[in-house]
Amino acid sequence: MQLHRLTLCAIGPFAGTFDIDIERLGASGLFHLEGPTGAGKSTLIDAIVFALYGEVAGRSSSADRMHSNAADAATTPFVELDFSTASGMYRIRRTPKHERAKRRGNGMTTENGSAKLWRLLSPDGSGDASDPMSTRVEEVGAEITRIVGLTHEQFVQTVVLPQGEFATFLRSTPEVRRELLQKLFGTEIYDAVLDRLVDQRKAAKQQRADAINEVSGAIRAYSGAAGLDQSAEAALSACEGEALVDEVASQLSQLSLEVDAAAAAAKAAASQADLARIDLVERQTRERSRQRVIALRRELASIDATRNEQARQSVALERALEATRLTPMLDGIVAAEARHDQAVAELEKRREHVSVPDAAPTGWPQHERSLRDAAAGLSTLDALERALPARTLAVADLARTRDEAAMNRRDVDEAIVLAPQALSDLREQLSAALAHRGTHAGAVAEADSAAVVLAAATALESRQAAALTAGAARESARQLAQQRLADETDLRSRFLDGMAGQLASALVVDEACPVCGSREHPRPAARRVGDVDKEAVDAAARRLADATSALSEATAEASGIEAELAELRGRSNGVSVADAQSRKVNADLAVADFDIATQDVIRLESDILAIEKTLAENRTQCETLTAETTRLDAEVSVAAGALETDRKKVSESLDGHATIADRVVALISEADEWHRATESFAAVEAASADRATRTGEWDGALAKSPFASRSEVVSARLSDEERGRLSREIERARERRREIDVELASSELTTVTSDDVIDVAAVERLAADAAAAHQKAQQIAANLRQRFDDSAGRGHAIESALALQRKVVAQTAPIIRMADLLGGASPDNAKSMSLPTFVLRERFADVVASANERLSTMSDGRYALVHVEDREGSRRAGLGLRVRDSHSEKERDAKTLSGGETFYCSLAMALGLADVVRAEAGGVDLGTLFVDEGFGSLDPDTLDHVLSVLSRLGTSGRVVGIVSHVPELKERISERVTVIPNRDGSSRLVVSA
């Protein structure tokens, strides 16, 4: 990966826009980022990492600090980076989360971060020479990881080595190294191959297990079908191959003989059952005939006993038929009498409602017609009466409209009279407002000047307290840093003094000493009270780093506030906040007076035009309202007179009723009662005549019948259902006697008598026993046949399962052997190391060898990195690392190195990584490397050795950026980016290339 250009705006301490041509700057292979502590050197490293991953380089920092506090609120912060990998050239642009002014209204709002990614089609990416790839933050992050081939954590271990984290790879665990090396060297293919082989081995072993289970299942199925007990099944399962097949064949042959014997026994039992069944049928038939004779004779005796009842039923049936003939005539008389009684009752009811005479109604229709004619004559007055309420409301509405028109005319007259005076007053106010409006320009200028002075005075007063606080914080941070330095130095010294006790506490009997290699430990050193472990030293070092960083930030904060105070004193001209506020209030009041005068001019001009327009409209409206009032007076007078005349007509025709409609209803109701009385009288006369006629006819018919009275006829009557039932019972008894006689004379019943004795039960028992014996023999034969058929089929299944097992074992053997060999589980794998681990181990060995070439120069031949065989569980990992000290000829953990030693060992490791990666095809190209600080921990000779190594990198196409404030670097490296702090707390960049 190569970085080409970095552009940043309003980022960290850089309030403006700055552009760095990294490709030109690193043409010689080495460039320097220098500047005072806290000026913003590390911000450039953070900007590169933020552009790619949306996060800063150091784990102790946050991306929230990316937006510059010194930048204008209207400026949008961003970082833009051009870079290239093996897949092409790209440009990425990110904006951090920041506060900006609201587009509408006052105040600030939060703008979320954004990201855009392009593929560059030309080196400068101008015009149409770029291809947009994504504008979504999540998608851009995924694309960057794919393009670069590294995660954020891996990037800051290999390309950008920030403060406090450049030794991460050197001190990391083998597991962390494995993950990073896989990304760098692109060895995921070996893991994929091994994973594929492991999956195939798992599938192969499953196939073998399935084949074995298939054979076992076939044996269990055969044993169940053949009815074998557990011991026989176990004996069969112990057989293998052809022995198993032969044993199954032998068992099937024996079972076939048993099937034939059972079939012969079933055939003999069938013949015995047939003979017993024939004898039983004959005896059952004779017994049924005897029982039938007994039943028929008993039924015949019962029929003979009911002859008298049959004769009585015949007489009752004949009288019922005669009564049925007279029933219609009898029902007619009853109905005529009921109609006569109902008509008489209805006539009496009519007499209660109308006073009619008892004589015939000769004049009743004429009286009814006179009442209806009187009701019809009132229809005209009824309609007139119904219209009176609506006409009354109409006259009232007309009068109200007339009164409203008169009132409106009076209001308009009053408005016409008042308008001239109002116009005169408004014109005077307009003249005064126009005169006051001419003082605008001076008031606005004075207000602007007062605002500038007040803002400066207020900020000066506010920041003076902040300056005191920042100074105190700087002093506190300095004291804390000194104390933390003393603590760290003391703990490290105590740790080194107690190193022997710590190593001795970890010794194990019969295991090699990590220092001398001996397996005997005659006099191990003891731990002392007050000894310090490595974790305490590391914690003190972290606290020292935090205190140093806090001191840098506090110093930068105090310097920025002091520069800001000087600028504010110049802008405020020595004016106090109170005086500036008073001057600002007076100027604002003057501007406000002008604004009020301007608004008054606009309002007064509008009011004058409105009054003039209203006056003209009122004069026209007054004329219209006068004519309307005169017309409405005439209409009200005419309508009221006509209404009073019609009311009088209606009142004279009420005849004691509340309304004309009530009188009409009363007349019609009375006419209806007279009509119903006439109809009731006619109904009584018709019913009397009908009753007399029917009575004469009944008396004649009764005299000719066998009955003496109406009651005898009623009691003799039967319903149709009862007559039918009697008729059917009489005929059924006669028919049944004839049937019994015929059946008793048949040949089947004449051969037996009721006294015969037939023992059917004994024969039934013999036949049942023979049938049961036959069924049992049949079941035994069928079960044996089914058992033989199932066993034969299961025997063939065993042969098929055995053939499949032999085939599966032959097919899976190469896969299992290869997976075990490459996975480190095979005895043939002498190192018990998997293929991916072996590949990474070899690459890591190359990295260590390449790193030692530079480390030898940097450490003046004292230190060398040693690749050791560590373990992961039961297998070797091969990614362990220790440091050999030639002075003591001992190896030790990299975590025990001092700050300067850790720095140049880590730098050598990073350069070694880049060398080996560039030599490999398919990995991640590490073409650019940034080292943030660490050079200050080197003595002059070691610094000279390190720079000698770095200066030779340009010949291999590598670029290294050094971030440091060490003066010797400025003298040795001509290509540089200088960070210069401004007096207002911001910083600027100067590029020398």
pLDDT in tens, 502-539: 666 666 666 666 555 566 666 666 666 667 777 887 88
Q: Given a cut of 80, is residue 185 above it in pLDDT?
A: no
Question: Residue 101 in contact with residue 116, Cβ under 8 Å?
Answer: no
Q: What is the pLDDT of residue 80?
A: 95
| DSSP summary character for residue 31 | E
pTM: 0.40
Taking the C-alpha atoms of residue 562 and residue 565, their distance in angstroms, rounded to an integer, is 5
pLDDT at 7 over 90: yes
Burial 694-709 (b: 16+ CB within 10 A, else e): beeebeeebeeeebee
Range 457-461, long-range pairs (CB < 8 A, 24+ positions): 457/568, 457/572, 457/575, 457/576, 457/577, 457/580, 458/577, 458/580, 459/564, 459/568, 460/565, 460/568, 460/569, 460/572, 461/577
Question: Which of 225-234, 628-637, 929-938 has the lowest average pLDDT?
Answer: 929-938
Cβ burial, residue 340 (10 Å; 0-12/13-18/19+): buried
pLDDT tens for 948-983 read 777 776 566 678 888 887 777 777 788 889 998 888
226-256 pLDDT, tens digit per residue, is 778 888 778 887 887 778 778 788 878 888 8
Residue 834 Cα distances to 163, 251, 656, angstroms: 36, 52, 127
Report the alpha-carbon distance of residue 63 to residue 50 in Å, rounded.
7
* 575-600 confidence digits (pLDDT tens): 777 777 777 677 667 666 666 767 77
pLDDT above 50 for 709:
yes
Q: List, in sequence order, every residue forming a beta bridge with 499; answer none if it has no partner.
A: none
pLDDT at 496: 62
Residue 82 φ/ψ, nearest 5 degrees: -100, 130
**Tens digit of each residue's pLDDT (9 = 90 or more) over 423-456:** 787 777 777 767 665 555 566 666 667 777 777 7
Judged by average pLDDT, the poorest of 81-95, 608-622, 749-763, 921-935 is 921-935
pLDDT at 555 (0 to 100): 78
Mean pLDDT, the chain, rounded, equals 78
The mean pLDDT of 902-910, rounded to a whole number, is 80
b/e burial code for range 425-462 (CB count within 10 A of at least 16 → b): ebeeebeebeeebeebeebeebbeebeebbebbebbee
Region for residue 155 given its phi and psi (left: phi exceeds 0; alpha: psi -120 to 50; beta: otherwise): alpha
Nearest CA among 90, 73, 69 for reference residue 81: 90
Query: Is the separation of the CB atoms in 52 and 156 below 8 Å?
Result: no
Mean pLDDT across the stretch 680-694?
79
H or E stretch at 829 = none
Q: Which whole-number Å values give the CA distances from 234 to 47, 219, 581, 825, in the listed order? A: 76, 10, 109, 34
Phi, psi of 880 (to 5 degrees): -75, 155
Residue 366 has pLDDT above 60, yes or no: yes
Q: What is the rounded average pLDDT of the residues 144-168?
A: 72
How far is C-alpha 121 from the geometric centre of its chain's CA atoms? Answer: 41
Residue 520 contacts residue 507 (beta carbons within 8 Å): no
Nearest Cα neighbor of 653 from 852, 927, 923, 379 is 379
Give tens-digit pLDDT for 830-863.
Answer: 667 777 778 878 888 888 888 888 888 888 888 8
Higher pLDDT, 712 or 438: 712
Contact 49, 967 (CB under 8 A): no
Report whether pLDDT(355) > 90.
no
pLDDT class of 50 with cuts at 50, 70, 90: very high
pLDDT in tens, 660-669: 888 788 778 8
Kindly report the three-state secondary structure assignment for every residue of 156-222. Answer: HHHCEECCCCCCHHHHCCHHHHHHHHHHHHCCHHHHHHHHHHHHHHHHHHHHHHHHHHHHHHHHHHH
Q: Which two tokens stand for residue 393?
A: 């409301």
